[in-house]
Amino acid sequence: MQSYIKHILLVFNIITIMFTGVMAQSSTKTNLVQNYNLPEYNDSLAFMILHDSAWYYFGKDISKSHEIIKLMDYYSKKSGNKFILSNYYSTIGSYKNLVYDNDSAIFYMDKAVNIVRKGMQEDSLNYSYIRLLPSLYNNTSIIYSEMGLYQYAIESQLNCIYCLKKIEITTSLNYNMKVLDAMSHTEMAMYYSDFMDTVKANKYFQIGIDKSVLLEDLEAVAYAKLNYGIFLLDIGEFDKAYLLLEESKYYYIENNDIYNQLIIYYTEGNVFMHQEKYSEAIELIDSVIMLTHNNGFAGLEIASIKSLFFLYLQSGDTINALKISEDYLSLANSYNELEGIAEVKEELAIILFKKGDIKKAYEYLIVSKKIKDTLVCLDYKAKAEVLESKFKLEQRNQENSLLVNDNKLKDEFINKQKTNNKIIFALFFLSLVFAYILFMNRKRINKINAELEITNDSLITKTEELEQSNIVLQKIFSLITHDVKGPIGTANMFFGYLNDNTQDISQEQRNEYIKLIGKSMGVTYNILEGLLYWSQNRMKKKVDYSTLSLSELVVSIIDNLESTVFTKQITLTSKVQAEVQIKSDTDYIRIVLRNIISNAIKYTKEGGAIGVDYKSDENLHYIFVTDNGVGMTEELAAKLFKQTNYESTVGTQDEIGTGLGLMISNELIIGLGGKIKVESKLGEGSTFIIELPL
């Protein structure tokens, strides 16, 4: 039954694929055919209209096709064209196949093939003949397969594939021919499966699927997977079979192809039966029976009822098996399904024997035996032997013909190959020249890239150095602004006093003011000189260690700040002993002490006091700068040297600062390996402690 279903499906799809253009015939053409009135057309065009219309009615009204074929006979003979005549015989052969007259179908197909071969011999440049030949072989193979003559079917299908290869070599395959090529491999696989050659069947099924997928022809892919699934069911690969059936189902559902959907459901039901999933199988097959009956698919309905009968038997439900057997025998007798009747009656005989109805069981067994004997009668065997001999003879002739054609193709291929070799050699030489040019160009580019990379690295280094220099310069300018504005501001104030004519200033006061202005200018000079020296060392990233007298350094700083403390009447004293000496960078320590003392002056009120002291232990020097100024909160003191951005507050006389002094001082002390700490109480004053390694 599986073979029967495959052949029905094969015929249905081949007709659809080979003659899809027929469906697009205009209403004018159809009316002409119906009226059989073609006076204004020449013989060839009139024949082609009739040809397309005949194929159109194959799927709709077979009797109408028969009437049109009679008209085709007139125009084909009148035209005298071999191509038209071969199309005419091919159409008759397909018609005979549809009305189950397969012997006549083969006869007319052979005539069509012989006419095309003769035309090819007379006019080898007429590609219309060779393009017609593959479809003729394909249709012939279908008819042979329906007759059970699988050797002939395989031979015809091989001829179809061979012709397609020849067309591909000599000219090219259009899309429809590529589809036919893919379908031909699928059909070849089906014939080998019927011929019980599973190795070749697997091979050709896979080729058919691959070619269909490559073409992106969804119908051809679905067709190949459906028939491959049926084959895998027959050889017991149930899981793989079910997977392929499910993949093909999507296409047929999307295209509302009810018949092929039912084929899939029927096959899946048989998969479930072999997997002993009886409830799923019975439910699926039962639904197929109902749908096939409603849609008039009698052959599939008979096969489905038979499958349901055996399902019930395997599941142990003999009651339903007996009921369904009556439906099957009634329908099978109507369509003369002798093989199925014999199988069912043989099973019924076993059931009845077990039930004790010996007489009826015997009757069923006798009927089954007679049918089987009929199917394998001696006449059938004799006919099979004759056909086998004929096939072997034809096969030898065909092999000889194929060898001759192969030699011709090889000669053509060799000549083409010689020409191609010359072209390839020229292209190879040009490729070498081009490759050499590319190599030299690449070498030059690599050299330039290497030089650019070195230059780029150098630029990066210079950029980093420049950025570092900019940072140093910013700090220098910040220090200049911070340290110089004090003495300059003092000098500016005394200049103001001297130029103020409204005030009565004595000569003694005037001399004192001039003295203080000079001292402020000297301080400014010393600050700028020190900053210049410090910035030069910072650019070199070098610390200049030397032994210095801390007492002398503090005294010089106090002297330089005299004009500043004078204006606020602040007492600035040093308690550092004269013998105290430390090893450090003099300029660093000078800048740090100046900044911290200046900061103390800023936040000490008029009449206040600032003192500088020193002590040491086994590990560290300690320098203390103490004031009785405004002080600060514990929170501010704790984070004073942890900030990265400083916002300076105004001093006791509204002095404005940048906030950079302490930041720079902290950085310099860290550079010397030390740190600065602060102890302060709001309203009572602050003590800054500089710790340096001993």
Q: What is the DSSP string of 478-545?
A: HHHHHHHHHHHHHHHHHHHHHH-TTS---HHHHHHHHHHHHHHHHHHHHHHHHHHHHHHHHHTT----
CATH 3.30.420.10 matches 543-693:
no
Exposure string over 372-385, b if 16+ CB within 10 A, otherwise e: eeeeeeeeeeeeee
HSE-CB for 111 with a 13 A CA cutoff: 18
Q: What is the mean pLDDT of each run of 10 residues along the chain (694 residues)?
A: 44 40 37 48 73 75 80 76 80 81 84 82 68 85 81 84 83 84 89 82 91 89 89 88 88 86 88 88 89 85 89 89 88 84 86 84 83 62 45 50 58 67 73 76 79 79 71 62 69 74 72 74 64 56 82 89 79 91 89 88 89 92 93 84 59 58 82 91 92 90
Q: For residue 490, which of 655, 606, 657 has the smallest C-alpha distance?
A: 655
C-alpha angle 259-261-262 in degrees, rounded to nearest 5 = 65
d(CA 585, CA 598): 20
pLDDT at 393: 41
SS3 assignment, position 180: helix
CB 86 within 8 A of CB 119: yes
Look at the pTM and tell me if it is higher than 0.85. no
Task: Order across the sheet with 609-616: list the strands.
Answer: 571-574, 609-616, 620-627, 685-693, 675-681
Q: Which helix (H) or strand (E) holds 542?
A: none
| pLDDT (0 to 100) of residue 252 | 86
- Predicted pLDDT of residue 405: 61
**Domain chopping of the chain, boundaries:** 8-172, 437-541, 543-693
What class, spelled out in words, does domain 8-172 have in CATH? mainly alpha
pLDDT of amino acid 389 = 41
What confidence score (pLDDT) does residue 206 get? 92
Q: What is the CATH number of domain 437-541?
A: 1.10.287
User: What's the pLDDT score for residue 127?
Assistant: 65
